[in-house]
Amino acid sequence: MAPPKKSKKKKKDSNRIKIKKKSSKSKSVRPVVPSENGAAIDSDWWDAFWTKNSSTSESNVPSDEEEGFKYFFRVSKKTFEYVCSLVREDLISRPPSGLINIEGRLLSVEKQVAIALRRLASGESQVSVGASFGVGQSTVSQVTWRFIEALEERGKHHLNWPGSSRMEKIKSEFEAACGLPNCCGAIDATHIVMTLPAVQTSDDWCDQQNNFSMFLQGIVDNEMRFLDIVTGWPGGMTVSRLLKFSGFYKLCESGDRMNGNVRSLSEGSDIREYIVGCANYPLLPWLITPYEDDDLSAAVQNFNKMHEATRSVAVKAFSQLKGSWRILNKVMWRPDKRKLPSIVLVCCLLHNIIIDCGDRLHPDVALSSHHDSGYSGQKCKQVDPLGKILRENLAKHLLHI
């Protein structure tokens, strides 16, 4: 969920970047596939890319071609084919006359997807990404945005709140792994840092580290899959305020979410559904934060330990997200703040698609430091009495299991 946008009249496509066809020069002949209109399609893009980039000066490029594919694009070839199937119709529905590579051949859907994934995965400049594929900066820009628009629409079913049966499985697995009963997920937030033109700067976008940034908040399940996200809001606001602007908060407060089965504990207390978050969030009937007082009783220490084990799943998910899709971890150069939420969403969708397709999330691409390094956050003092009671009941239960 992003902040509401002001309605504006759409401009005509006269401002769309137009790329002239470059004349084909004589080079070594490669296999080509004719398209329906008779133009040749670049079908051997991977062989050319691998030959050019596998011998790069980067020492950590795998020598194995399959692993090399995942290194450059973060997905296996099987998952890559699935992503292509999602966006294929959209990528071929518009006239591809501008998408011509330096040899005069049309870019295949596969090469377009590869260009977009490499841009998102590496966070490198459009010029650098283009050079690795033999295309220009403007082509990388156009292809990447077309891919983002397509996947945002075609892949949205990979990020949704679970139904009751799936949620019961999530709660069961959280309890088995971390000990907390009836827990539906873990919440956290991170900053997407950017530079802004002087005319667009404001105190709202300037955060506590004096960076211009945009927030991303996410709730994840036990497998680090994003179940709900909100982005588009300025990084200068507090995490607790960000929560209250989210659709998730409104649904929970109205009783339309976190309203599943109540768990009866052996001690006689009932535990409703909830998520866990750090002390930057308010303690609510459906959002449980750790104890922050000086009472270090055995029950409190034990609860905080299990709470942190559960909450750390969200921390790891964000480290994996920003490590895999490095465009989110690098300082973005003057991004369009209206388009940036779409980029963030698509990276979250790709993160989930990797999990849903059974791909292994490579732990070596996760950030070595905290996903929001340098940001300490502001502890929230809001305590709801019902949330306090629920936390006390959980602490008592955990001490006796």
pLDDT tens-digit map of 357-394? 999 877 789 998 899 988 887 899 999 999 999 999 99
Tell me, yes or no, whether 103 and 208 share the same domain. no
Q: Is residue 339 over pLDDT 70? A: yes
Q: Assess if residue 19 is contained within a domain.
A: no
CA gyration radius, the chain? 24
Tell me, yes or no, whether 144 and 35 share the same domain. yes
Q: Assess if residue 354 is contained within a domain.
A: yes
Contacts of 271 (CB under 8 A, 6+ apart): 181, 182, 262, 263, 264, 265, 390, 393, 394, 397
| pLDDT on residue 5 | 54
Tell me, yes or no, whether 248 and 117 share the same domain. no
How many domains does one find in the chain?
2
Q: Tell which of 130, 154, 178 closes a domain.
A: 154
- φ, ψ (nearest 5 deg) of residue 23: -65, 140
Q: Is residue 159 over pLDDT 50? A: yes
Break the chain down into helix, strand, coil percent, rounded to 5. 45, 15, 40
- 142 or 22: which leads in pLDDT: 142
Tell me, yes or no, whether 172 and 149 share the same domain. no
Q: Is residue 343 over pLDDT 70? A: yes
Tell me, yes or no, whether 213 and 352 share the same domain. yes
Q: Tell which of 124, 154, 184 closes a domain.
A: 154
Tell me, yes or no, whether 319 and 391 share the same domain. yes
Q: Tell which of 154, 179, 194 closes a domain.
A: 154
**Amino acid at residue number 271:** I
Tell me, yes or no, whether 141 and 201 share the same domain. no
Q: Is residue 96 over pLDDT 50? A: no
Q: How far is CA 99 from CA 57, 185, 289, 361, in A?
A: 29, 43, 51, 32
**Do 76 and 69 contact (CB within 8 A), yes or no?**
yes
Q: Assess if residue 17 is contained within a domain.
A: no
**Do 247 and 273 contact (CB within 8 A), yes or no?**
no
Tell me, yes or no, whether 190 and 71 share the same domain. no
Q: Assess if residue 25 is contained within a domain.
A: no
Tell me, yes or no, whether 198 and 229 share the same domain. yes
**Structural domain boundaries, residue 348:** 161-399
**pLDDT tens digits, one per residue of 189-240:** 999 999 887 656 667 788 888 899 999 999 999 999 999 999 999 998 999 9
List, in sequence order, the alpha helices (H) in 1-76: 45-53, 65-73
Tell me, yes or no, whether 321 and 391 share the same domain. yes
Tell me, yes or no, whether 170 and 271 share the same domain. yes
Q: Assess if residue 13 is contained within a domain.
A: no
